[in-house]
Structure 1
Amino acid sequence: MNNIRTVSDTKRAFYSIHTRPINSVYRRVIEELMVEMHLLSVNVDFQYDPIYALGVVTAFDRFMQGYLPESDKESIFNALINALQDDPQRYRAEAQRLQEFAQTLSVEDIVSWVDDAANSEVQNDLQGSFQKIATTPKYKYSRILAIGLFTLIEQADPQAMEDKEATQQTLTQLASGLNLPLDKLQKDLELYRSNLEKLKQARIVMDEMTQAERKRREQRAAKPAVSPTPESAPEEVSSDS
């Protein structure tokens, strides 16, 4: 009997946990992330990894920037991870730990560890993750993993990915050391950055529309109400009798 959960099962679980409506622009982002995570979770070659968790958290937080009400964001995140039968606190904790650790490193440190991932002695959790990725046969690459790797580099040097030539070299070294497909890594990160920019522009348009509507309401509220002019009463006609 096939007991593998379907995408529909995961979506139903999500909407039963987070019951408040989600803005249509953001709902599409959440559902695409949910479907991607679901398909990975049921793949026999997929392995959870802290770098993957960093990718999930980073993608969620960046795509959900500007979401209102702000208080709903954590509920949506928790519902997303719980719907996939996982622990949202684990994702948050491991992502934060990796971010903070990466901030103490240089890009050269990370690239060096990646280059030696298959053979080096593991001295910390990040090196352990690199070694697992590099040495696991049929390791399941994903766009989310690519975002996690990208975030590590960003945390080590926020300007590191602004230099196209340096970016190409860094991605080539990451792909080579971890035995990941370079073409997919590059395309996924280009699409990721492009989608962030598109969502940023969509937020600007939504903000402008919201401000324009608020201004119209304020103008209507400030306009004095005009009382209807009563019809003139007919003059009394006096009768001389």
Structure 2
Amino acid sequence: MVEMHLLSVNVDFSYNPIYGLGVVTTFDRFMQGYQPERDKESIFSALCQAVEQDEQRYRQDAERLQGIAESLPVNDLIAWLSQSTTLDRDADLQAQLQAIANNPKFKYNRLFAIGLFSLLEISDPELVKDEKQRNEALKKIASGLHLSDDKFTKDLDLYRSNLDKIAQALVVMADMLLADRKKREQRKQQSTTTVAPPSTNE
């Protein structure tokens, strides 16, 4: 939320669908395991309203880009994102990519980087798991869009590291809840078990 707010007041920042996908993906990933589940949408809505944005725009753009990534071979997607080729798949996104590549004042941000990474992950989950292939793809995209390769890679390394930590925390939490449930069940069984009084010899 802090980054969204800082970007919203930056004169060089303008919304684009890839940034929108990054926001949605970050929220969904970092809110995994949140209970009650039904409150997540209202929290996302409040988050967007806090920076005077429309949550439906974010969700719709994210869904549209996810559909594009699912329909493209990853090499075609990389070539498109790096602007080494153009595709007639989505005229709006094509225009956005060209504008970013040609704008020396483009306000790069981590949420935009996460949006790009999410597109790769959706298109080919195995590619992003392979360090060599992942780094090669990121370098091509960074070069084509005139982004800082070093910052781009570091931001995504931090993002992936945080995802790993969250996944580990969820496992620990699940284990703790299971252990607590077993203890409560054991106590319940003990309290309902009737202990026969010792017999006396007459």
What's the TM-score, normalizing by structure 2? 0.89
Deviation at 1:113, TM superposition (A): 2.2
Given that 1:51 and 1:129 are in contact with CA atoms closer than 8 Å, whether structure 2 keeps it comes out as no
1:85 paired with 2:52, answer: yes
Q: Relative contact order: is structure 1 or structure 2 higher (C-alpha 8 Å, sep ≥ 6)?
A: 2
> Residues 127 and 208 of structure 1: is their aligned pair in 2 closer, same or farther, counting only changes over 3 Å?
same
Q: Which of 171, 174, 183 is 2:150 aligned to?
A: 183
Residue among 99, 116, 122 paired with 1:155:
122
Which runs of no fewer than 5 residues in structure 2 stay unpaired? Answer: 195-202
Task: Give the CA deviation at 1:121.
Answer: 8.6
**Alpha-carbon deviations, 1:190-224, whole Å to 9, x = none?**
11011000011111111111122222222222213
Match of 1:126 in 2: 93
Distance (Å, rounded) in 1 between the aligned partners of 2:171 and 2:193 = 36
Q: Where does the alignment leave 5 or more consecutive residues of structure 1 unmatched?
A: 1-33, 228-241
Deviation at 1:60, TM superposition (A): 0.7
Q: Which residue of 1 aligns with 2:113?
A: 146
Q: What's the % identity of the aligned pairs?
A: 55
Residue of structure 2 in register with 1:66 after alignment? 33
Give the counterpart letter for 1:170 in structure 2: A
Whole-angstrom CA distance in 1 between matches of 2:188 and 2:175: 20
CA distance in 2 between partners of 1:225 and 1:155 (Å)? 52
- The structure number with the bigger radius of gyration is 1
For 1:56, the equivalent position in structure 2 comes to 23
Which one of the candidate residues 42, 49, 56 is aligned to 1:75?
Answer: 42
After superposition, residues 162-241 of structure 1 pair within 5 angstroms as: 162-224=129-191
- CA-atom RMSD, angstroms? 2.0
Q: Measure the CA separation in 2 of the matches of 1:214 and 1:120.
A: 55
CA–CA distance in 2 between the matches of 1:111 and 1:125? Answer: 17
2:163 aligned partner, one-letter code: L
Counterparts of 2:125 and 2:148 in 1: how far apart (Å)? 24
Of 76, 81, 85 in structure 2, the residue corresponding to residue 114 of structure 1 is 81
Provide the C-alpha distance between the structure 2 equivalents of 1:224 and 1:151, rounded to a whole number of angstroms: 51
- Structure 1 or 2: larger helix share? 2
Hey, what's the Cα distance between the residues in 2 that align with 1:225 and 1:58?
A: 48
Distance across 2 between alignment mates of 1:44 and 1:69: 37
Q: How many residues align?
A: 193
| Mapped contact 2:22–2:111 kept (Cα < 8 A) | yes
- Say whether the 8 Å CA contact 2:80–2:87 is kept in structure 1: no
Q: Which residue in 2 is equivalent to 1:25?
A: none
Alpha-carbon distance in structure 2 between the residues aligned to 1:115 and 1:73:
34
